[in-house]
Amino acid sequence: MHKWETIFDVQKRFSRIVNHWKIFDKVELNIKILKCLYRSWQPKVTAISESKDLTSMTAASLFGKLKEHKLEMNRLVVQESKDKHSKGIALKVANQKRQQDFNDEDTMSLLLRKFRKFLKKNKG
């Protein structure tokens, strides 16, 4: 598997190769599939190899599990990007309101100081 390949591409290529050579049994095919995956798949490869019996699993079901994992990972990435985007906007709005409050307070305090000076000059 190359870094830019999808699991669909790997399955197509793997099927073409295996269909020409019918000398491998299920376990050998499953091990070859798991070993050819890119490094980012390593946690899933470990989970499958430890939890499932590779002798009873077909190559099609193995690729199905890998596709399901990829779809779930894509869904999580989309969800995380939505969460980050919405949080950023909320913070910007809150900061703008807070800055406006400070400006209003500064204006009010300046006005009060000038009014006090005016009262002192005119003696009440």
Per-residue pLDDT tens for 31-73?
888 888 877 778 888 888 787 677 777 778 888 888 888 888 8
User: Span 2-20, mean pLDDT?
Assistant: 78
- Assign 3-class secondary structure to the chain: CCCCCCHHHHHHHHHHHHHHCCCCCHHHHHHHHHHHCCHHHHHHHHHHHHHCCCCCCCHHHHHHHHHHHHHHHHHHHHHHHHHHHHHHHHHHHHHHHHHHHHHHHHHHHHHHHHHHHHHHHHCC
* pTM flag (> 0.75): no
**Domain spans, the chain:** 7-122
Q: Residues 86-103: what's their mean pLDDT? A: 55
